[in-house]
Structure 1
Amino acid sequence: MSRGHHILRGIVLALGAFIFLFPFYYMVIGSLQESPDPSLAGAFPNPANLTLDNYAAINSRIGLLQGLVNSGIFAGGVIICTVLFGVLVGYALAQLQWRGRGVTFSLALLVQVVPFQLLMIPLYVLIARDYGLADSYAGMILPFAINSTAVIIFRQYFLQVPKELFDAARIDGAGELKLLWSIAIPLVRPALLTVVLLTFIGPWNEFLWPFLVTKEASLQPLAVSLANYLSNVAATAANPFGAILAGACVLAAPAVLIFILFQRHFVSTNIGSGVKG
């Protein structure tokens, strides 16, 4: 490739990075401004206009730490359930022979085209009225406990594991759970991390379901608390623009940090390289 092509590619990548990162930069700068400036010039403010008062203002209204804890419990519970059920179902679909396996996998694929909003009303009736789990962490987590995407990912990874490994272990007397724990899971660690990272973003940013199922402010994730602040309190705040952006920065920070730390793990490794010929 010629030098001109390298320069052109660098310019295009730099321009794309600027377009992608500018909203994040603008959000951080806006959260630090004492006096709001929604114009383009506000992206380059006077340093004398920068302060942390907006973070103190939003924290005094909704409790940023409590919102983060609630979001963490919600996201953590969903991740644990997703990994647990995803591994079990994915292993069963890939390595076990049983009647209805093909139909079950077809249903897992079919669920992908059904929007969650279509199921929200019956789920709310089931969770809130029948199970009595409104205003609880379990009520928030249960509808997301089984993720068909995670099932499909684990199934595809388990299919790549040579069957000879399982056959040899079965001959030695190992049960299916022993096979899963000792052989299958260590060989699909990239899938585990991928599922965790992909699953985290959904519940961490989820607004509609926690908003429906929780009325207690002390249980609401940060995304719901920010929405309530925007609709109920922001009109009376001294700098609602800066306070909302401050809350958005706190909400986005964990997701951005996790992506920066683990982005290279999105690329799966070759499972076959761990098996000697």
Structure 2
Amino acid sequence: MRWSLRIVQAVVLVGLIVAAVLPLVWLAKASVSTTTELVTDPLTLIPSVFDWSNYAVVWNDLGIWRYLLNTLLMALGSAAVTLFVCVTGAYTLSILRPRWGDVVYWAVLATLFIPGIVSLVPLYLTVLDLPGLGISLLNTMWAVWLPAGASAFSLVLAKRFFDSIPRELIEAARIDGAGPVRVLWSLVIPLSRPILSVLALLSAVAAYKEYLWPLLVLQDPGVQPISVALPRIEPALEYSVMMAALFLSMVVPIGLFLLFQRQFLRSVGMANGIKG
């Protein structure tokens, strides 16, 4: 009975691995194939002729590096703004604890139940004419960075982690003369690096694959990320060239995960541990 269960688990695991890896392998193969071969024999995993010119066309003629650079800038900026907002907000609610902190916290929790599409029009009107300043953020990265920072999930998760920090450490720092800023910078942030790293990674990946919002606020081709630029230029591309562009667009998020997978998995486990 135990061996049969292990066999079933192994079969399921292998099936999941194949289902996850096989599309990536096929995309890699398609990126170095000719359009004719993709149309006539699409199911083969090894091309008869390796056509590396697809990448040259994508990199040099289409200038996909510009869109990748825009996407990377958008992702890093979104992660930075998200960290700033969630760290300062969570520190205020968890450590400083103002009088109306609980009301604010429950209001933030309530926003988790509001579909994002509901706030799309008000958010666009806000970006179009920033209240109090009368300026437009359209076709600037700030139009993507600022909304990314308003992440209720990141704020709640950071607050729950800050709640788990022993109060004795904070009180000891205060007795030693550390002010609120010093406590945050020298104590809370170093202890919270695992959860902050996963929040930054999740925010960067979410911004990297975002399509609808950048499509609305970044209409200038010079600032568009790759998720918006590829559908725009796709009708003019050959099938194989498009596959090469898609494969290049996947390199950055996969590389980020492989590079930070240890911190990511450790932080996810830590986040699950503090939910109770």
Bucket of the pairwise TM-score, normalised by the shorter protein: 0.7 to 0.9
Q: Quick one: distance in 2 between partners of 1:39 and 1:261?
A: 37
Match in the other structure for 2:241? 243
Aligned to 1:28: 28
Alignment of 1:11-160 (within 5 A): 11-36=11-36, 37=38, 41-48=42-49, 50-60=50-60, 62-130=62-130, 131-160=135-164
Secondary structure in structure 2 of the residue aligned to 1:113: coil
Give TM-score scaled by structure 1 length: 0.87
Which residue of the partner structure matches residue 267 of structure 1? 266
CA distance in 2, matches of 1:229, 1:270: 42
Counterpart residue identity of residue 11, structure 2: I
1:67 is displaced (CA, Å) by 0.5
Take 1:147 and 1:170, find their aligned partners in 2: how far apart are those partners? 30
Secondary structure, aligned partner of 2:113: coil
Q: Distance in 2 between matches of 1:125 and 1:103?
A: 27
Query: 1:41/1:246 Cα in 2 relative to 1: closer, same or farther (>3 Å)?
Result: closer
Distance 1:128 1:60 in 2: 34
Residue 92 of structure 1: CA displacement? Answer: 1.4
Question: In the aligned structure 2, how far is the partner of 1:61 from the partner of 1:228?
Answer: 15
Counterpart-to-counterpart distance in 2, 1:193 and 1:38? 43
**8 Å CA contact retained: 1:34, 1:53:** no
Give the alignment's Cα RMSD to 1 decimal. Answer: 2.1
- With 198-207 and 91-100 compared, the bigger mean Cα shift is at 91-100
Indicate if the aligned counterparts of 2:58 and 2:244 stay in contact, CA closer than 8 A: yes
Instruction: For residue 47 of structure 1, give the secondary structure of its aligned residue in structure 2.
Output: coil
How high is the TM-score relative to the length of structure 2? 0.88
Which letter maps to 2:201?
L
Counterpart of 1:166 (choices 149, 166, 170) is 170
Equivalent residue, structure 2, for 1:274: none
Q: Cα deviation per residue 1:143-163 (whole Å; 9 max; x = unaligned)?
A: 212221111111111111100
Residue 51 of structure 1 deviates from its aligned partner by 1.1
Question: Which residues of structure 1 form unaligned runs of 5+?
Answer: 272-277
Please name the residue that 1:255 is paired with. 253
After TM superposition, give the deviation of residue 178 of structure 1 in Å: 0.6
Contact 2:144-2:213 within 8 A present in 1 as well: yes
Question: Which region of structure 1 is more displaced relative to structure 2, 182-191 or 56-65?
Answer: 56-65
Distance 2:270 2:24 in 1: 35
Displacement of 1:8 in angstroms is 3.4
- Code of the aligned partner of 1:34: T
Q: Shift of residue 78 of structure 1?
A: 0.7
Q: Aligned residues, how many?
A: 264
SS in 2 for 1:43: coil
Structure 1 letter corresponding to 2:43: G
Are the structure 2 counterparts of residues 183 and 174 from structure 1 closer, same or farther at C-alpha, using a change threshold of 3 Å? same
What are the ranges of 5 or more consecutive residues in structure 2 without an aligned counterpart?
272-276
Separation (CA, whole Å) in 2 of partners of 1:21 and 1:184: 39
Deviation at 1:169, TM superposition (A): 1.1
Asked if 1 retains the 8 angstrom alpha-carbon contact of 2:195 and 2:270, the reply is no
Q: Which of 224, 228, 236 pairs up with 1:220?
A: 224
**Matched-pair contact (CA < 8 Å) for 2:205–2:253:** yes
2:190 corresponds, among 186, 189, 193, to 186
Instruction: Check conservation: 2:32, 2:47, Cα contact below 8 A.
Output: no
Q: Which residue of 2 aligns with 1:10?
A: 10
Q: Give the superposition deviation at 1:229.
A: 1.0
The residue type equivalent to 2:244 in the other structure is: A
State the identity as a percent: 27
Instruction: Give SS of 2:25's match.
Output: helix
